[in-house]
Amino acid sequence: MPSGDIGLIGLGVMGQNLALNMNDHGFAVVVHNRSRERMDRFLQGPAQGTEIIPADDLPTLCAALRRPRKLLLMVRAGDAVDQLLARLLPQLEPGDIVVDGGNSHFADSERRYHELAAHGIRFVGCGISGGEEGARRGPSVMPGGDVLAWPELRPLLQSIAAKVDGVPCCQWVGPGGAGHYVKMVHNGIEYADMQLISEAYHLMRVGLGMTPEQIKDTFLQWNRGALESYLIEITAHVLGQMDSNGVPLIDNILDAAKQKGTGKWTSISALELGAPLSLIDEAVFARYLSTRKEERQHAQTAYSLSSVAFSGDLHSAVAHLHDALYASKIIAYAQGFMLLREAAQAYRWTLSYRDIALTWRGGCIIRSRFLNNIGEAFANHPQLRNLLLDDYFVRQVSGAEPGWRQALRLAIELGIPVPAMAAGLSFFDSYRRGRLPANLIQAQRDYFGAHGYERIDRPRGEVHHSDWSRSGEPASGEE
């Protein structure tokens, strides 16, 4: 009688740690890895003394699993998943469940869901966040796809997930590619959070002339308040690390940020769906610009840096920066949830924004105290159009606004780039303004292309056109 509860394929860092986590929670885990050597190293190393069972090949793995089979794929996103599915399919039976736990693109998960459904296989595209430590001790888990798989997977996924106040950071997201979509937006927000923290660090280090040690202490202090989060916490640790030559390690790290593409996917999706994700976009662009290291060095020689030195009160400058970081962070999350709303509409998903916030409270890279407030906002108003319209966030942003402006004024004066914080403030200034200069854009479009415009004194949808070559008076009136 097969006794395996779950088959895990792919023993990379995430796969190994999830296998150990599931084993700890009493599940009989059968593992397989294409390279036997890696599997042996795992079994003789971290998995020694556990109940984890190795399988030499896919038929052996599938034969060892209880029906309906549950399989968790932890292989590299992209072709590798399709190739594995093609080899796996002949070993499966209708009703079996395949979970892709990698960082797959949501459109691939949507396609795989349909392809496997045609064979009676229940497919789940499952975002998993938290890196190595999260996978081992409790990640944030975002499953979506075939909802009929959820009752079978729920005990397993919720038991291995992180818990906050006893609530598992794992809730069903929605059909098709919804799970991986939510993970993608998580990563877009992750890029934004990291960029914002880096801008704050840059302003303190270069603009205010603070040492890594002083900045570390500042982040530690901020981590005791509204900004409390995993990313602020690890930033403080990073800043406290010394290199072997006695210099803070951070000063010896090359300033060219890499990426695997999930932030870019978020921006692409936002452009396609018409969601103005300006802050998140800037975070993605900032990574691209950072990689042009030599070009930047040439530009620095061509232009020379600003000679304006900071001369104000350090304590208040740091306090303003705190507010700038906090307010910008709120904008980043507001934009992320805005995109989720657009996607839900475009793909006809029913998403629970409250559950998504609760899922991100623990285990994942963007985990923070602040996600409790987001969860509450959506619990109070499940159809809230934008976080910025929630009473709590109105108070928070209004309170931080003066400091936000002061910090950006200072950054501009000192020539310190703050693309994400500035994009956040511009977004805010646009969003909260009932009238924008788009009237002029409409007039220009009508001028050169006769594209027509709506009037503020006429019903929406009624199109007008002017003969601009004469006096700007309506040419033919209503169209």
Q: Please give the DSSP secondary-structure letter assigned to residue 120.
A: T
Q: Which is nearer to ligand 6PG, 67 or 258 (CB)?
A: 258
Binding site for ligand 6PG (CB under 6 A): 103, 129-131, 187, 190, 258-260, 262-263, 364-365
Q: Which is nearer to ligand 6PG, 283 or 410 (CB)?
A: 283
Q: Which is nearer to ligand 6PG, 134 or 176 (CB)?
A: 134
Q: Which is nearer to ligand 6PG, 258 or 435 (CB)?
A: 258
Active site residue 183: yes
Distance CA 328, CA 322 (A): 10
Burial bucket for residue 334 (CB in 10 Å: 0-12, 13-18, 19+): buried
- Cis, peptide link before residue 68, omega less than 30° from 0: yes
For residue 59, the minimal CB distance to ligand 6PG (Å) is 31
| Secondary element (H or E) of residue 464 | strand 464-466
Give residue number: closest CB to ligand 6PG.
129
For residue 18, the minimal CB distance to ligand 6PG (Å) is 12
- Extract the tokens encoding 159: 């038991």
Distance CA 278, CA 284 (A): 10
Q: Among 70, 110, 190, 282, which one carries the catalytic annotation?
A: 190
For residue 263, the minimal CB distance to ligand 6PG (Å) is 6
Could you give the count of Cα atoms lying within 13 Å of 373 in the half-sphere of its Cβ? 19
Distance CA 412, CA 402 (A): 16
Q: Which is nearer to ligand 6PG, 145 or 363 (CB)?
A: 363
Burial bucket for residue 303 (CB in 10 Å: 0-12, 13-18, 19+): exposed
- The type of residue at 157 is L
Contact criterion met (CB below 8 Å) for 462 and 470? no
Residue with the two structure tokens 């950006």: 408
Distance CA 48, CA 446 (A): 72
Nearest to 421 by CA among 313, 315, 323: 323
Three-state helix/strand/coil letters over 248-265: EHHHHCCCCCCCCCHHHH
For residue 264, the minimal CB distance to ligand 6PG (Å) is 8
- Extract the tokens encoding 462: 């009624």
For residue 139, the minimal CB distance to ligand 6PG (Å) is 8
At residue 142, φ and ψ (nearest 5 deg) are: -125, 80
For 336-347, give the DSSP string.
HHHHHHHHHHHH
For residue 231, the minimal CB distance to ligand 6PG (Å) is 11
For residue 251, the minimal CB distance to ligand 6PG (Å) is 21
Q: Among 70, 183, 264, 329, which one carries the catalytic annotation?
A: 183
Active site residue 282: no
Nearest to 74 by CA among 22, 112, 17: 17
Q: Which is nearer to ligand 6PG, 130 or 144 (CB)?
A: 130
Nearest to 388 by CA among 375, 399, 397: 397
Q: Which is nearer to ligand 6PG, 183 or 322 (CB)?
A: 183
Q: Which is nearer to ligand 6PG, 163 or 464 (CB)?
A: 163
For residue 192, the minimal CB distance to ligand 6PG (Å) is 12
Active site amino acids: 183, 190
